[in-house]
Amino acid sequence: MSRESSDIKSVVIVGGGTAGWMTAAALVSLFKNVDVSITLIESEQIGTVGVGEATLPHLRFFNQRLGIDEPEFMKATNATYKLGIEFVNWGQQGDAYIHPFGDFGQPVNDVPFHHYWLKSQQNGNNHPIGDYSLPVVAAAKERFDFPSQDPNSLLATYSFAYHLDAGLYAKYLRAYSEERGVTRQEGLVESVQQDPESGFITAVTLKNGKQVEGDLFIDCSGFRGLLIEQTLETGYEHWKHWLPCDRAVAVPCEKKEQPLPYTRATADKAGWRWRIPLQHRTGNGHVYCSDFMSDDEALDSLQKGLDGEPFAEPNFLRFNTGRRKKMWNKNCVAIGLSGGFLEPLESTGIHLIQLGIMKLIEFFPNKQIDEAFSNEFNRVMQMEIERVKDFLILHYHATERDDTEFWNYVRNMNVPDELKRKMDLFKQTGHVVKYQEGLFLEPSWVAVYLGQRFLPQRYDTRVDGFSVSDMQAQLDKLRSQISDSVHVMPAHMDAIARLENPRNDGWKNADMSLYGARKRSVQ
C-alpha cells in the first residue's frame, strides 16, 4: 500500500460546542497544506454544558498558534482578563487566598521563596505570602497590565488568562473553521457503522438518513460519549470517592459592578460556588454533592449569592468525575467531556481539550492507526488528567473545616498514594515535588498548601545562612516593589477599554511577551 493511499483523508468530528469547534479550528489551521477533509456534525437540538467560562493561560498560546487576533477574540466573547482564582472559606470559614498565574518571590541560592517566608513567619512577619506575589496584589487591587518583555522585571513574573463566554467562543471558532474549509453537518446521529473485523468506525448515519464516512472520528459528544463509550464500550474509571461532587447548577446574572480580574470559588456546605465576571454578565454556579445536599438547597444557596437579577432559568447538570479507560480507542479519539470530567474548580476543562487536540496533532496517524501513537496519547492524557485530579483533591482534603458532614468526609478520606506522598513530604520538609510533565507547577501547590493552612513542620536549613534582620529587609523591599509596580498598573476595566484601540504599545508588548512568560503560564 502506498503512503498516499494509507494517509487519512477524512476526519469526522461528532459534536460541536467548545470541544468540537476548538478541534475543528486547530485541525483546519495546522493541517492547511494537508489533503484532509474535516466534517463536524452537530445538532441545534442538543445543548452544550457551558459551565466552563474561566480559562488558563495556555488558551492564549492556542489562539496565537491559530493566528487569532486577541482584541477581536476578546470583543467577540465578551472576555475579561484573569490573573488567578480566589478561594474563599476553604481552609476555614472566613479564610481567603488567591492562587495566581505567577510566582511568589524568587528563589535565593536555589532555595524556593516560600522557605524564607516560613522562617519570617516564625519571627513575627504577619504578611501573607500573597503579599509577595505581583499577580495576587494586582488582582486584589483590581488592576491589570500585560507581562513585561524584560525577564528581570517584576512585571515578567506572571501570566494571565481570560474569563469568556464559552458559547460565544464556540460560535467564533465555528466561523473561523468554516471560512477555512470545515464542513458543518446539522443533524442527530442515529447509528454508527463499524468494520466487522477491526471494529473501526467507518461511518455515522444521521436521522435524516444521510451517511457520513470517515477515516478518523473525534468524539466531542459530551458526557454521553456517543462513539467512545456507547459504540466502542471503552469503559470509565470513576473518582467519586475522591471527588464526591456530582451535581452542578448554573445561573447567569446581570453585572452589578465592574468585573474583577480573577475567578472566585467560594466553599459551601457540600461543595462550592463559582463566580466568573464577563464584560456583559456574571457567570454563577454551584458544584455540590447530592449525598449531602438536595437540588433545592443548592439552588437556594446559589440564588442568595447572586449579584444581580438572573438572566436565565437554572441549568442543572449531573456528572461523574473520572476518565475513560482509553481516550483513543481504535480510530476514535475522545476530546473534552467524552474523555472524562473534572469539576471546574481550577478552570482545567478547556485546557484538557486543548491538550488533547495538540497531542492528537502531534501523533496524527495513518489509516492503520499505529498503536504506538494511540498508546502514547493515552499515556500522556492519563498522566495529565490524573495529576490535575490530585491537585483538585488537595483543595478538599487540606482543610480544617468540620462544620458539615461533607467537610468531615473529605478531610478524613483516604487520598491517592501519589498525593499522600506529596502532602507528607511538604508537611515534613516544605519541599514541593516537581514533575517534568504536568499542568500545575510549584507555586500552584504552595498557594493551596499555605492558603489552606497546611503548613510544613520545618523550612529548608539553608535559609539559616541569612540573618533574620537581613532576610526581613529583603522581604520588605520586595513587598514595597510589588506595591509600587501595582500602583502604576491600569485598572482592569481601563485595560479592557484598550480593546477599542488594539494597536497601541500595550498590545504590542503583550504579543511579544507571551512566550517569555510561558514557564509561568499555570502557577
Residues 147 and 188 in one domain: no
Mean pLDDT of all residues in the chain? 92
Residues 334 and 469 both lie in one domain: no
Grid cell listed for 82: 484573569
Q: Is residue 282 part of a domain?
A: no
Please state the pTM of the whole predicted model: 0.93
What would the mean pLDDT of 36-64 be, rounded to a whole number? 85
Instruction: Say yes or no to pLDDT of 47 above 70.
Output: no
82 is catalytic: yes
Asked if the model's pLDDT at residue 515 lies above 50, the reply is no
Residues 350 and 459 in one domain: no
Same domain, 64 and 201: yes
The confidence band for 190, taking pLDDT boundaries of 50, 70 and 90, is: very high
CATH number of the domain to which 72 belongs: 3.50.50.60
pLDDT score recorded for residue 434: 82
Question: How many domains are contained in the chain?
Answer: 2
pLDDT at 319 over 50: yes
Nearest to 458 by CA among 418, 420, 431: 431
Contact 169, 77 (CB under 8 A): yes
64 and 177 share one domain? yes
Same domain, 221 and 350: yes
Q: Which of 32, 82, 256, 420 is catalytic?
A: 82
Mean pLDDT of 302-318: 93
Question: Across residues 437-465, what is the average pLDDT?
Answer: 94
What are the grid coordinates assigned to 159, written together?
501570566
CA distance 287 to 274: 8
- The pLDDT > 90 percentage for the chain reads 87
Q: How confident is the model at residue 4 (pLDDT cuts 50, 70, 90)?
A: low
Within 8 A by CB and 6+ apart from 488, the residues are: none
Written as nine digits, the cell of 131 is 503579599
User: Is 50 exceeded by the pLDDT of residue 516?
Assistant: no
The whole-number pLDDT of residue 49 equals 54
Residue 464: give the domain boundaries.
Answer: 106-158+416-505
- Spatial separation of the C-alpha atoms in residues 280 and 172, rounded to whole Å: 17
> Mean pLDDT, to the nearest integer, of 159-170?
96
Mean pLDDT confidence for 381-407: 97
Say what percent of the chain tops pLDDT 70. Answer: 93
Q: Are residues 219 and 212 in contact, defined by beta-carbon separation less than 8 angstroms?
A: no
pLDDT (average), residues 389-403? 98
- The pLDDT-based confidence of 397 (bands split at 50, 70, 90) is very high
Which of left, alpha, beta for 322 (phi over 0: left; psi -120 to 50: alpha)? left
